[in-house]
Structure 1
Amino acid sequence: MPPLPAAPLPAPPLFVASDIHGHRNEFRAALLGAGLVDDAGSWAGGGARLWLLGDYVDRGPDGIGVIDDVRRLADEAAAVGGSVGALLGNHEVRLLSAHRFGTLSVPGLDEPGGFRGGWLRYGGREEDLRRLTPGHVEWITRLPAAALVDGHLLVHSDTVRYLEFGGSVDAVNTAVSAALASEDATVWREFNDRMRSRGSFRAEDGPAAAARLLGALGGDTLVHGHSTLTKHFGVPPEDVREALRYAGGQVLAVDGGVYEGGRLLLTRLG
């Protein structure tokens, strides 16, 4: 009698976090609490998987330090069979816009001071721009905008406007990569508008909108940051404890509003 096939190994743990916004110490504390780093901040999660959903910079004290930590942790995790993935957030797009175009303005950009003025108005930190190196720019320009992991569609923003980039995860990421490589300021204005859009799944037709995005890009649950639980979902900062599921159970909001007095949520998806 032939031997029975071995049972499949369980998938390694999957965690997500979003909108660190320069809060480097809070990021480390959240990872330490989950056993993903040790007391020195080095990867200790073994084969675990961590996905970060964008907005590493702006609003907080050390956005560039956060990027440096993410890059280092990705290398350390990969060396022991784990992984750290990172998505593009709208604040990375704003930072690169300020870096590339400065005070330039284009039609439709209603910001005093052009791209730089808009970046500053929405939480830009001069120190982040000053410390931005070609290596940081290259890392940001290689970030995908969406990922499909274990049935979870991971994106930064709670918007259906990802479909304006394409009708599949690969198409979205290809179009975003092209936008990041563009030298056309008009392309960047539209790019900023799409990435900062929000609220598609909180309206009356939110469940239908979520189903449309999931139907196109794949997945059973859409997981996003960008819209804070504190400001956009009305959770008092002191009551932020866990991610919020809504839109008929199809959508999970994971931005705990750390820069608004909430907390940096580290959410286990599996």
Structure 2
Amino acid sequence: MSTVEAALYIVATPIGNLEDITLRAIATLRSVNLVAAEDTRHTRRLLQHLEIDTPLTAYHEHSSDAEAARLCQRIVSGEAVALVSDAGTPMISDPGYRLVRAAQAAGVRVVPVPGACAAIAALSASGLPSDRFLFAGFLPARAAARRTRLTALARESATLVFYEAPHRLQETLDDLVLCLGEAREATLARELSKAFETLHRDTLGNLVAFVAGDSNQCRGEIVLLVAGCTAPEPEVDAPLAELMQALASRLPPREAASLLSTYSGVRKNRLYSDWLAGQGPSADS
């Protein structure tokens, strides 16, 4: 019998060092009727370490809507279920949100049990501004798509936070230099809370050389943090305004602004609002 209220508990687990689990997380995992895990083999090792024998079931990106409904029905029937990912906080670059949405739709209470998160841990020790940050998750694996995504983020003023696979680290750094410039400051956070933890802040250009000179940096779990853009936004000069006018005559104006923003560095909202201001009161109809 569960000793906690029937609900879906979103339980953060350690990202490396097992001592980073919270007392509340331990109590919750011990008390629920069932633990839904991204990888039951991985979570079983954690539960064995904690001497917890709560039953496990798999819930991951390939789980069906029917599986989510089954878990929700167990909660509706009075059981408590904990959702965990392989490491860190569920829902941060994992598919658990689908189960949360199903639970909410079923009228099930969703309870966060906070704890470790690689993105927040890396940000806290990065030496980069943390008053505003944008978590961008994993970049696309294909080079062209990755460069398109980075180009769209090039003018973002908030600190950028990415997760990256170790075998793509070098090419991602190369693309960051290409799209954001070699002088942009960045921090490589690798294997956080583990034996070979690395926190290295430098320019993107120097980070490329640092990783190229040490193959160990392309191993383990990686968070890349990049300082936001501090350069002043280019002005909407007469030629740019004329180009916006020409594009807006052939495309929906918002689409024209978005397209032109990619190449000019001027925010799409500013391009659109400046165009709108020159069209008269009926332009947005």
Structure number with the higher strand fraction is 2
TM band (smaller chain): under 0.3
Structure-2-length-normalised TM-score: 0.24
Using CA pairs under 8 Å that are at least 6 residues apart, name the structure with larger relative contact order, 1 or 2.
Answer: 1
Tell me which structure has the larger Cα radius of gyration. Answer: 2
